[in-house]
Amino acid sequence: MDIDFPLILVVLTFAALFIWAIDAALLAPRRRAREAELKARFPRWSEQGDADQQGFREQAERVLRQPVVVEYARSFLPVLLIVLVLRSFLVEPFQIPSSSMVPTLLVGDYILVNKFAYGIRLPVLNSKVIDIGEPRRGDVMVFFPPHDSRYFIKRVIGLPGDRISYAGKVLSVNGQEIPQSLVAQLPPLSPSYQISEEDLDGVTHFVRKELLRSGPDNFEVTVAPGHYFVMGDNRDNSSDSRVWGQVPEENIVGKAFAIWMHWGSFFSLPSFSRVGMIR
Residues with catalytic function: 100, 154
Beta bridge partners of 254: 142
CA proximity to 77, closest of 21, 129, 30: 21
The pairing of strands 247-248 and 91-95 is unpaired
The pairing of strands 247-248 and 227-231 is antiparallel
Under 8 Å CB-to-CB from 232, ≥6 apart: which residues?
Answer: 100, 101, 154, 155, 238, 239, 240
How many H-runs (helices) and E-runs (strands) does the chain carry? 5, 17
The pairing of strands 109-114 and 91-95 is antiparallel
The count of other CB atoms within 10 Å of the CB of residue 265 is 8
The count of other CB atoms within 10 Å of the CB of residue 106 is 14
Contact 154, 101 (CB under 8 A): yes
